[in-house]
Each structure stands twice: as C-alpha cells, then as structure tokens.
C-alpha cells in the first residue's frame, strides 16, 4: 500500500509526511483548514462558507483570496490530487489522507506489529484560532461528540498497561483523562491504583476522598460500589475506620517507589491468567524460579491488582520445619479467608469439617456442631469438600486468589488437598498460584508430582529467568537513586556482574557495598588480598538458604562445589578437579547435580555460578588453611604451562598466588594481567585488581601498579579521578614512570572539557620533551598520541608536521602490540590533519583489521574505529560510517568510557542526520552521556546540541530548536578556541535559517566571518563556511571578500570531504553562473550530488545552497 500523509487530531494537531516527518505551516489557519476538511469529509464545502469560517473579519473577496492561497499551500503538502476543488466547492480527495480519528472510531487503539498504539488526547487539544469564533464552536462540538470514544480509548490503554504492570504509564494516562474530565471515575481508579502500587496508599485515599466530595457537590452523585470497595480495602490498613465491616486489607509493597523492571512479559502472563479467572475460565499458575529471582515480588504485584478489583487474597508461606505437620498449608489458606463476611454462607457441616484441622474456624464460630470422626483418605476427601464449599460461598460474590509460597515445603496432605481442589473448582472464579524453587522439587516427592500434573490440571507454568544486563543496570540505578548512593562505573559493573540477574541479590550486594565499601563480599571475592574477610549479617541469611539447598548433597559433590568456588570461571576445566583426587566421572556427576539444584547454570560459555553471592558463600565455607593450599595447587597447575590447559590470564595466576600467600610471585602476573584486561576491554577488572593489590606493594612495583591503575581509570573515561590519583602518586620511581605521569596528566586535561583545554595545550612542550628524551619507546608513542589529539582539537597543522617528523624516530620493533596500535592511531591522526587522507586511511585500515583479528577492544581500538568512521563520512559513505561508529560505540560502552561514548554518539548523530534518519538522530544525540558535568563540554557538547536542534528543525519543531540553541548559547559563555566558536556560529546560522529566522541566521553567519577575518579556521567546516560566504555575497554583503574567499577555498577543494566539496562549488555558483568555468563547476557539482544521500541534498535545498 502506498504511504500517505497522516493527520493527528487527538492532542496537538500535526500533519505528518508519508515518511513520518512533521509538515510545517506558517499559519495555524492552514493546518486548521486541513483538519476541518478531513473531519468533515462527507461532502464538498462551498468556498464562500470556508472563507467565512476561517476569515470572518475581512471582506469576502479578500477572504476568498486567502482561502485560495491556503489551498495552493496545502496541495504540495498533501500530494498530487490530494485536494478536489472546483470554482465553488472544495473537498479532500477520499483515500489520500490517513486520519487518527478513523482509528479511534474503529477501535484500533492498541496497535499491532506494524502500527504503534494510538496517541490519545483531547480533540485539537490547546489549538485555537483567535479570530474565528465559529471554528472554536465547531471544535467544541466535535470534542463533545468524540469525548466518549476518547475516554474509552484511554480506558483501553490503561487496561493494556495493567496487563504489563506499567503503573507509571497508568498514572500518566489517568492524568490525561482527568484533564478532559476531572470527575471521570475510571481515571480516579487508575490514579489510585498507580499510587497504591507505588506504596503511597494515603495519597490514593486522599485523592479518592477529594474526588468523592467534588462528585457529590457538583453532580449529587456517589462513587460506584466497586470503587468504594477499593477505597474501603485501602482504609483497612488503618488510615480511618471504614463503614464496611471486616474488609481485608489490600496488599501492597511497603517500600515506596520500588522499581518494577524487566518483568513486563511475565506479569502479562499472570494478569491474563487473572482475567481468565474473572471470566470463569481456568487461570491457575505455577511460578518457578531460583531464590532471589523475584517470584514473590511479581506475585505480590498481581495480588495487589486483583484485590483492587475486588478479589479476596489468602496467602500462606510454607517452611521446611513444618513439612511434617498435616494440613499446615491448607490451614493457613483457610485462616486467611475467615475474616470475609461471605464465609457466613458456608454450610455449618462444612465449617465443622474444617474446624477439625483448622482450630481458628471454631474460634470464629464457637457454636458449630461437632464433626464426626474420620481418618485416612476419608478425612482428606471431607476436608477438601469442606474447603471447596467455603470457597463456593465466597465466590458467589467475589473472586478468590490462593497463594502458596515455597510450596515445595508444603506438607504432603495439603498438596493432595490442593490437587483435588484444583480439579474440582474448574470454571469457578478461583485462582491458585503455586510458588517454588525448581531445585527444591525433589524427584518423586508430592510437589514434583503436582508439577508433573500441570497440563492435566490446567496449571500454567511460568519460570522467571535472570534479568538481562540492561535490566540489571536499570534496577541498580533505581535502587541507588532511592538510597541516595553514587556508584562509580566500575563498582556498578561489578555489582551487576556479581548479581547474575537476580534482583534480590543485587539489592543485597548494594546494601553490603554501602555498609562495607571495598570489603563488600562482591568485591572482596576477587580482590588481590590474602583473605576474603567476613560477610555481613544479611548476607549470612543467604548462607542459610544455600545450606538448606545443599543439605542433601553428598560429600563428593560438596568437594566439587567447594573447588569450583575457587576456580571461578575456570570451573569447566575438568582436569583441575584432580587436585582433590576427584575422578572425571565424579566431577561430571557432581557438576550435573549442582546444575540440577540450580547452584550452577549452563550458558554459552559453559557452567557458571548462578550469581557471585552463592559462590562467595561456598568459598567462605572452605576452611582458610584448606583454601590456601588449594590456591597454591591451582597456581602451580596454571604456571606449569600444560598444553592441554586453556591459557591462564595474568590476573587469574596473580589471584591464586596472592591467596596462596606467594605475594612476590604474584606481582609480575598482576602487571601482565592488568594490561591484558585493558586490552580485552575490561579496564574495570584491572582497576579492581590493582586497587586491592596496592596496599601490599612497595617501591618501583607500587609506582608501576599506580600508573596502570590510572591508565585503567582513563580507559573508562574517568579523567578527573585519574587527575586526583596523579596528585597522590608516589614520588619514587624511574624517569620513565615520571614521564608517563606527565603524559597521563595531559591526557586527562585534554578530555576534561573546554575549561581544561588550555592547560592541556600548555603541556605540549613537556610532552615533546618526553618524546625526545624518554628511553621507553611505548612512553614516547603515548606522548605523541596525546599531542596529536591536542593538535587535532586546535587544528594545529604546524604541530602535526613537527610531530610526524618526531614519531618517525620511534623504533617500532621495540614496541608491543598495544603500542603499535597507538603508533598507527597517532600517524593516522597526524596524516589526516596534514591533509594526506589516503595515507591516513591506509594506517587506520591496516591496524583495525589487525586489532579485530587479535580481539583487542581497548581505548586505542575504539579511537581507531572512530577514525575509520570519520574517513568513511569524509567520502560521503555515511552508511558505512554509521557501521564503524556503532562498532566503536559497542566497545566504548563495554569500557564504560562516557567521554568516548559522547564523542562517538555526536559523530553518529551527524551521519544519521545526513541520511535523513531524524528521529534516530534525535534519540542518539539526546541520550548521549555528559561526562563534563556542569562545565562546558566544548566541541562535543556543541555537536550533540546541533544534532538535536537539526532533528527538531527538520521535523518542524521550531520552538524546540530555539530552546536547544538558547541553552547552548547560555552554556558556551567561556572563551572557546576560535575554530570551535566559528563552527558553532555556522551551525547556528543553519539552524536559524531552517527555522525561518533569516535575520538571525545572517547575523550568526556574519559573526562566523568576523571570528576568522573572512578565513576558514577549521577545514572540517569548509562547506558551511563557503556556503554562508556565498549566500552573504549573493545578498550583497561583502561581495569582494566573498569572491576572494571562495577562490581561496577552490584552490584546495580536492582536500575537503565530499559534502564540503559540493558546498564550495555551490557557493561559487552563487556568485558566478555565466562563465565557462562556472559551467564546468556545475557539471562537477552534479557528479558530487549523485554520490550524496537524498536527505543531504534536501537539507542543502532547504538551506538555499543549491543553484
């Protein structure tokens, strides 16, 4: 089907092109005319009637002329044939425009795999035509006509959010509904639900009371019975006495604002099961998952929702010590139901039967008859029948949800009753939720047999898996914010990795870290210290849980487990288990049993502990002397260089040596391992190892480790921390160590934003001295790399040429692989700066291929891919550049280097804009980190702001464009390098021109010219500079200077990138279109335009650059 324009009338009206871009109008009346013709499309409209409707205060001829002008503006925007008009009548051609009201009226609200959910709002919300009262009356009539449908659509969207547990969106939609109708009961109910889920019950009740009073005062009406029941259940928590007696309290999370993350799909399954129960269809659920995975949290959320909808909830927690008490679980469920008044409808004989096993029944009803004595299966069957009759009495009015937590600990008698009950209550509004840990479902046990019968009993099994890394990161962000905690990137990553996707474990580890800092269990386990240290009390509770899981494990499996805790990621190396005289068969059997018990899990890399908290508890259970001996044996095996063994990392060898008490032997492996970790894109691992090892190091070893620690911080983009560390660096050390500290200091200042750039430039002489005098070739290369970046930032070709001569004296044969990568990067930068693009491309291409082959993912690799993307963009190959930038972005994210991430996202955003992907451009540029904080971020911040503003401008959002410009102008109040200031003035001129502000655009362009005295200060902006020179010359401003400037640029036109080349030719044609030279330039321009994306050409057209 051919794509058509789309008119949005719900909310702020907007006309979108077939590509989804907003179509701009210079006056509201033109958009209002489109809306009117689209909504009133049933018949043609007389021209004089339309003229009177929209231009009532002007003479008729003038009004008809205004209408004709408006129609001429609308035709190209709606496409050929979009308007059907004659001398007297006008109408929109049927089928040429998609309207959101059509989806609203047809009920297509939620969308599908192709369409997004419909955006709902009031009809033409906030849209007014000041001088057309009749249009306002028409708008109000349509709003009244559509309001029931709009409110129904909001309700449908809220119901959909309920299924996903998205309470924040529920609150937002409820707020939108209340703006349209402040007495809407559905909106108040949704607002109360969202507040209850957030743990703010009192606020929910206050909102209800205020709304109820207003409803009575204005409409003399009362809330529905359902809403009053919801409020009464909330009051039962103790805020005020309720007039309805014995209403059970609504369960809700006591921790206000607790995040619910990463479980939307699982919650939807639960909620749909609950909906089935309400509709008298089977909806029983068995929720499975390891301890700490979030089973209780997600079921609590469902029971809260069900109770708000009028259900009665009875929950029982089963315990291992109560397994031998018959009917303990059933007794707990019955006790939870006795407070309901509907229980009075249960036959006395049934209550008497329950009283035999549940003493609370007789306490509630002391006059019950004595039940006859029965035993064995008869007693079980009679108890089931009595329980069923109790539930039937309840379900005449309400639905019932029975929750059995840790049902693997339930007594066999209760499980048998539940099995029989589930079979008998099919078709009744009764929901049974069973919660268990799969590892505890012992084969052959009653709980395991109940699980095997799931399909026959119509019980759906829902297993919760660990959260993704993204979900875990989002969760720890919410937890840290709620606790007022600031986490360093390395600690954040350590905690996320240690938790293994278990929400409860993540919360425990965060609490542990808040209390114990670096001695927290998640950090202490892999620390380069001789002992683990003691764990806190709340972690000890987790140890008890582990002990209950392992109580049936045989001694051989326990030995496998304890050695696996020492081996960590090497636990799949089966040969290692021979160190404790375990055979291959014993090892494999033990590992299989541990996986079955869910202590280990199998993933793409093999077996691993389900989380590091489990591993730490097992590790701590090994006696200290035994651990020391085992670490020594493992270290010896790793150092033996067995060809059948996987190659050990330096940090792995160092850790085992340290834990074995062989400190001096560990140091060389520590240094080697830290470099390996950084090379492989894991600087946070190197940081943690070096940080924990520093207190035990002295002299030169301490200085070397200290410098590596600072390098690891810089790999992560933590520049200010690295500067602080440098200030505390030990003074003793070799000259090369001191030289390296100079290099690291300059590198940090160069990356700390515009405020520190001058300090970085001041260190160029010191860096050049290091390049000339240092005896370490790798230190010389590192210094050259820093100088190259400073020169690139200032576009200093003189320094670049000087540096090219210096680095030719470096002995490449004396460099390791990391330093060779740095050398290639430095040469590529300098050659690019010197204008030798082909040679630069050769250096970068060769080294990136080599780095990919070796799996290197450090900061140098990131910068090389950035360079490759820049070279692709220079040739106009923006799609290829996007691929290179995305590869660099993945590595930078893995490093956690926010400075590089921001840089890459800025370059990526530019390329996306050139390709016309404005929505994605806006998303990328808006989500980039801001590592510079409150200080100005220099060119990176300018580039990101420009991309945001450009995306807004190309989408027709002029106010947002102006807001971005104003904000950047306010922040860029410091003294910038002249080339950066000129670049922003040129970009700002473009943005203002796209927004229709020609006067402001020319003023900004004139400032750009004055900054350089009509000279280009950065070759990267040759195109915009030339374009504005040409436009100003064409407009009669400084024509002579413009001509000279353009000719100067044309002399070196081949050194600029494809787009700049085209813009320079455009500018020359602005000033000269008749000469023979102009004809040749026009032909060359046509060739270049064929190489550029259509969106880029469209931008040039809108910028009035094309001849």
Tokens of 744: 């690291």
Angle at 472 (CA atoms; ends 470, 478), nearest 5 degrees: 105
CB 712 within 8 A of CB 690: yes
1040 membership: H or E segment, kind and range: helix 1039-1051
Does residue 44 have a pLDDT over 50?
Answer: yes
The stretch 807-818 carries a mean pLDDT of 86
Coil, strand, or helix at residue 600? strand
CA dist 8 and 3 (Å) reads 15
CA dist 993 and 965 (Å) reads 13
Tokens of 255: 């921790």
Going by C-alpha positions, the residue among 107, 125, 445, 471 that lies closest to residue 266 is: 471
Rg (CA), the chain: 36
CA dist 520 and 494 (Å) reads 11
The stretch 927-955 carries a mean pLDDT of 89
Does residue 217 have a pLDDT over 60?
Answer: yes
Sketch out the chain's domains with CATH numbers. 6-146 (1.10.10.10), 182-235 (no CATH), 264-463 (3.40.50.300)
The stretch 789-804 carries a mean pLDDT of 83
Q: What is the structure's pLDDT at 642?
A: 56
Does residue 243 have a pLDDT over 90?
Answer: no
Computed over every residue of the chain, the mean pLDDT equals 87
Q: Strands 83-85 and 89-92, how do they pair? A: antiparallel
Pseudo-torsion of CA 739, 741, 746, 751, nearest 10°? 140
Q: What is the structure's pLDDT at 253?
A: 45
Q: pLDDT tens digit string along 53-90?
A: 999 998 999 999 999 999 998 988 888 888 988 888 99
CA dist 852 and 727 (Å) reads 36
Residue 428 region, left (φ>0) first, then alpha (ψ -120 to 50), else beta?
A: beta
Q: What is the structure's pLDDT at 536?
A: 47
Q: Select, from the ranges 167-181, 190-204, 591-605, the one with the highest average predicted confidence (pLDDT).
A: 167-181
Does residue 10 have a pLDDT over 50?
Answer: yes
Q: pLDDT tens digit string along 583-632?
A: 999 999 999 999 988 889 887 778 999 988 889 888 988 999 999 999 99
HSE value, Cβ hemisphere, 13 Å, CA-based, for 95? 2
Q: Select, from the ranges 76-85, 394-403, 526-535, 548-557, the one with the highest average predicted confidence (pLDDT).
A: 394-403
Angle at 933 (CA atoms; ends 931, 935), nearest 5 degrees: 115
Going by C-alpha positions, the residue among 529, 528, 583, 524 that lies closest to residue 556 is: 583
Q: What is the structure's pLDDT at 523?
A: 79
Going by C-alpha positions, the residue among 965, 936, 929 that lies closest to residue 948 is: 965
Q: Which residue has the higher pLDDT, 22 or 659?
A: 659
- Segment among 128-132, 631-635, 780-784 with least mean pLDDT: 128-132
Does residue 705 have a pLDDT over 90?
Answer: yes
Coil, strand, or helix at residue 359? helix
CA dist 607 and 1094 (Å) reads 51
Going by C-alpha positions, the residue among 731, 1083, 1034, 1059 that lies closest to residue 875 is: 1059
CB 232 within 8 A of CB 242: yes
Instruction: Give, in order, the Cα–Cα distances in Å from 164 to each of 109, 309, 865.
Output: 16, 16, 40
CA dist 804 and 706 (Å) reads 31
CA 298 to centroid of chain Cα atoms:
21
Q: Select, from the ranges 361-370, 523-532, 588-597, the one with the highest average predicted confidence (pLDDT).
A: 588-597
First to last CA, the chain: 35
CA dist 862 and 876 (Å) reads 21
Tokens of 468: 């993704």
Buried b (16+ CB within 10 A) or exposed e, 131-151: ebeebeebbeebeeebeebbb
Give the residue carrying structure tokens 């391992």.
673
Residue 756's pLDDT band, with cuts at 50, 70 and 90, is: confident
Q: What is the structure's pLDDT at 646?
A: 52
Q: pLDDT tens digit string along 439-489?
A: 888 787 889 999 999 989 999 999 999 999 889 998 998 888 888 888 887
- Segment among 304-318, 635-649, 929-943, 999-1013 with least mean pLDDT: 635-649
Going by C-alpha positions, the residue among 231, 302, 313 that lies closest to residue 260 is: 302
400 membership: H or E segment, kind and range: strand 400-405
Q: What is the structure's pLDDT at 786?
A: 92
Buried b (16+ CB within 10 A) or exposed e, 967-981: ebeebbeeebbebbb
Does residue 247 have a pLDDT over 50?
Answer: no
| Percent of the chain whose predicted confidence (pLDDT) is above 90 | 46
Q: Strands 312-317 and 400-405, how do they pair? A: parallel
Residue 242's pLDDT band, with cuts at 50, 70 and 90, is: very low
Helices (H), 95-132: 100-106
Q: What is the structure's pLDDT at 196?
A: 87
Buried b (16+ CB within 10 A) or exposed e, 1050-1079: beebeebbbbbbbbbbbbbbbbeeeeeebe
The stretch 422-445 carries a mean pLDDT of 89
C-alpha dihedral sign at 381, 383, 386, 390: negative
Q: CB neighbours of 859 closer than 8 A, spacing ≥ 6?
A: 714, 715, 895, 897, 900
Going by C-alpha positions, the residue among 940, 1026, 952 that lies closest to residue 984 is: 940
Q: What is the structure's pLDDT at 925?
A: 95
CA 400 to centroid of chain Cα atoms:
37
Concatenating the DSSP letter of every residue in 276-311 gives HHHTTS--EEEEE--TTSSHHHHHHHHHHHHHHTT-
Q: pLDDT tens digit string along 338-350?
A: 988 888 889 998 9
CA 715 to centroid of chain Cα atoms:
22
What is the model's pTM? 0.75
Q: pLDDT tens digit string along 90-112?
A: 999 888 899 999 999 999 998 87
Does residue 725 have a pLDDT over 50?
Answer: yes
Does residue 252 have a pLDDT over 70?
Answer: no
C-beta pairs of 448-455 under 8 Å, 24+ apart in sequence: 450/407, 450/415, 450/418, 450/419, 451/286, 453/419, 454/286
Q: What is the structure's pLDDT at 1077?
A: 80
Q: Which residue has the higher pLDDT, 520 or 3?
A: 520
Tokens of 437: 């840990």
Q: What is the structure's pLDDT at 1074?
A: 65
C-alpha dihedral sign at 719, 725, 731, 736: negative
SS (H, E, C) 647-694: CCCHHHHHHHHHHCCCHHHHHHHHHHHHHHHHHCCCHHHHHHHHHHHH
HSE value, Cβ hemisphere, 13 Å, CA-based, for 151? 18
């Amino acid at each position: 089907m051919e794509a058509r324009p789309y008119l949005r009338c719900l909310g702020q009206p907007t006309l979108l092109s077939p590509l989804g871009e907003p179509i701009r109008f210079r006056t509201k009346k033109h958009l209002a005319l489109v809306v009117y013709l689209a909504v009133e499309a049933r018949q043609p409209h007389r021209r004089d009637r339309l003229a009177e409707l929209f231009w009532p205060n002007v003479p008729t001829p003038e009004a008809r002329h205004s209408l004709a002008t408006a129609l001429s503006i609308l035709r190209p925007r709606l496409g050929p044939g979009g308007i059907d008009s004659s001398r007297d009548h006008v109408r929109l051609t049927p089928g040429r425009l998609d309207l959101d009201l059509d989806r609203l009226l047809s009920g297509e609200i939620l969308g599908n795999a192709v369409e997004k959910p419909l955006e709902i709002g009031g009809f033409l919300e906030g849209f007014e035509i000041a001088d057309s009262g009749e249009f306002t009356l028409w708008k109000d009539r349509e709003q009244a006509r559509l309001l029931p449908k709009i409110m129904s659509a909001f309700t449908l969207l809220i119901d959909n959010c309920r299924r996903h547990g998205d309470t924040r969106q529920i609150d937002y939609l409820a707020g939108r509904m209340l703006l349209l109708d402040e007495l809407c009961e559905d909106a108040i109910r949704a607002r109360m639900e969202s507040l209850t889920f957030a743990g703010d019950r009192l606020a929910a009740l206050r909102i209800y009371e205020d709304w109820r009073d207003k409803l009575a005062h204005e409409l003399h009406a009362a809330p529905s019975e359902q809403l009053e029941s919801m409020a009464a259940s909330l009051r039962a928590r103790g805020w005020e006495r309720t007039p309805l007696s014995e209403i059970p309290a609504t369960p809700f999370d006591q921790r206000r604002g607790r995040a619910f993350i990463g479980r939307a799909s699982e919650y939807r399954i639960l909620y749909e099961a609950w909906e089935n129960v309400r509709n008298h269809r089977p909806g029983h659920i068995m929720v499975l998952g390891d301890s700490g995975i979030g089973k209780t949290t997600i079921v609590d959320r469902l029971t809260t929702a069900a109770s708000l909808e009028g259900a009665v909830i009875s929950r029982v927690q089963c315990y291992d010590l109560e397994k031998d008490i018959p009917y303990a679980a059933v007794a707990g469920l019955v006790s939870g139901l006795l407070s309901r008044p509907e229980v009075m409808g249960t036959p006395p004989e049934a209550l008497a039967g329950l009283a035999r096993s549940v003493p609370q029944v007789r306490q509630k009803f002391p006059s019950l008859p004595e039940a006859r004595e029965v035993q064995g299966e008869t007693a079980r069957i009679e108890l089931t029948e009595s329980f069923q009759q109790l539930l039937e009495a309840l379900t005449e009015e309400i639905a019932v949800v029975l929750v059995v937590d840790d049902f693997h600990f339930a007594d066999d008698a209760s499980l048998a009753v539940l099995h029989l009950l589930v079979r008998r209550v099919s078709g009744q509004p009764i929901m049974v939720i069973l919660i268990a840990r799969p590892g505890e479902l012992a084969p052959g046990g009653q709980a395991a047999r109940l699980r095997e019968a799931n399909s026959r009993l119509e019980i759906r099994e829902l297993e919760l898996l660990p959260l993704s890394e993204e979900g875990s990161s989002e969760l720890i962000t919410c937890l840290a914010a709620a606790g007022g905690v600031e986490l360093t990137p390395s600690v954040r990553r350590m905690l996320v990795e240690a938790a293994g996707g278990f929400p409860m474990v993540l919360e425990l580890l965060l609490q542990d870290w808040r209390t114990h800092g670096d001695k927290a269990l998640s950090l202490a386990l892999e620390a380069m210290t001789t002992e683990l240290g003691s764990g806190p009390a709340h972690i000890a509770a987790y140890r008890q849980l582990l002990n209950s899981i392992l109580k049936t494990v045989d001694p051989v499996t326990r030995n496998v487990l304890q050695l696996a805790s020492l081996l960590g990621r090497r636990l799949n190396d089966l040969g290692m288990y021979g160190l404790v005289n375990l055979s291959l068969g014993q090892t494999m059997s033990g590992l299989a049993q541990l996986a079955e018990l869910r202590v280990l899990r199998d993933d793409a890399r093999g077996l691993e502990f389900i989380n590091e908290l489990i591993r730490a508890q097992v590790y701590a259970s090994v006696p200290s002397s035994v651990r020391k001996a085992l670490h020594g044996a493992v270290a010896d095996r790793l150092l033996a260089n067995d060809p059948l063994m996987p190659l050990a990392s330096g940090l792995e060898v160092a850790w085992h040596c340290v834990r074995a008490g062989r400190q001096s032997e560990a140091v060389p492996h520590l240094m080697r391992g830290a470099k390996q970790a950084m090379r492989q894109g894991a600087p946070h691992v190197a940081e943690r190892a070096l940080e924990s090892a520093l207190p035990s190091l002295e002299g030169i070893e301490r200085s070397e480790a200290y410098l590596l620690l600072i390098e690891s911080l810089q790999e992560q983009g933590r520049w200010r921390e690295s500067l602080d560390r440098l200030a505390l660096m030990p003074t003793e050390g070799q000259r090369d160590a001191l030289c390296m500290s100079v290099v690291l200091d300059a590198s940090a200042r160069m990356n700390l934003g515009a405020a520190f750039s001058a300090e970085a430039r001041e260190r160029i002489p010191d860096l050049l001295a290091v390049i000339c005098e240092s005896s370490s070739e790798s230190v010389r290369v590192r210094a050259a790399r820093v100088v190259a970046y400073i020169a690139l930032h200032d576009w200093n070709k003189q320094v670049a040429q000087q540096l090219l001569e210096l680095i030719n004296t470096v002995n490449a044969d004396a460099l390791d692989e990391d330093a060779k990568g740095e050398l290639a990067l430095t040469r590529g930068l300098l050659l690019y700066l010197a204008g030798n693009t082909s040679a630069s491309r050769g250096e970068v291409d060769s080294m990136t291929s080599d780095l990919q082959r070796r799996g290197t993912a450090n900061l140098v690799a990131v910068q090389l891919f950035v360079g490759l993307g820049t070279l692709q963009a220079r040739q106009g190959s923006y799609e290829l550049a996007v691929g290179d930038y995305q590869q660099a972005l993945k590595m930078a994210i893995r490093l956690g280097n926010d400075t590089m991430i921001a840089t890459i996202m800025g370059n990526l955003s530019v390329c996306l804009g050139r390709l016309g992907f404005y929505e994605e451009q806006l998303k990328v540029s808006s989500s980039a980190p801001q590592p510079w904080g409150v200080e100005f971020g220099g060119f990176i911040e300018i580039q990101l702001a420009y991309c945001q503003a450009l995306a807004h401008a190309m989408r027709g959002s002029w106010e947002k464009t102006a807001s971005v410009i104003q904000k950047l102008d306010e922040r860029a109040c410091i003294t910038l390098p002249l080339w950066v200031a000129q670049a922003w003035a040129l970009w700002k001129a473009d943005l203002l021109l796209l927004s229709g502000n020609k006067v402001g655009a020319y003023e900004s362009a004139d400032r750009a010219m004055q900054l350089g005295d009509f000279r280009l200060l950065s070759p990267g902006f040759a195109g915009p500079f030339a374009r504005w020179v040409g436009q100003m010359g064409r407009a009669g401003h400084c024509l002579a200077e413009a001509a000279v400037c353009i000719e100067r640029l044309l002399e070196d036109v081949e050194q600029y990138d494809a787009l700049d080349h085209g813009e320079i030719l455009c500018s020359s044609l602005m000033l000269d279109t008749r000469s023979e030279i102009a004809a040749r330039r026009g032909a060359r321009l046509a060739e270049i335009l064929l190489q550029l994306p259509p969106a880029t050409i469209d931008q040039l057209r809108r910028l009035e650059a094309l001849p």
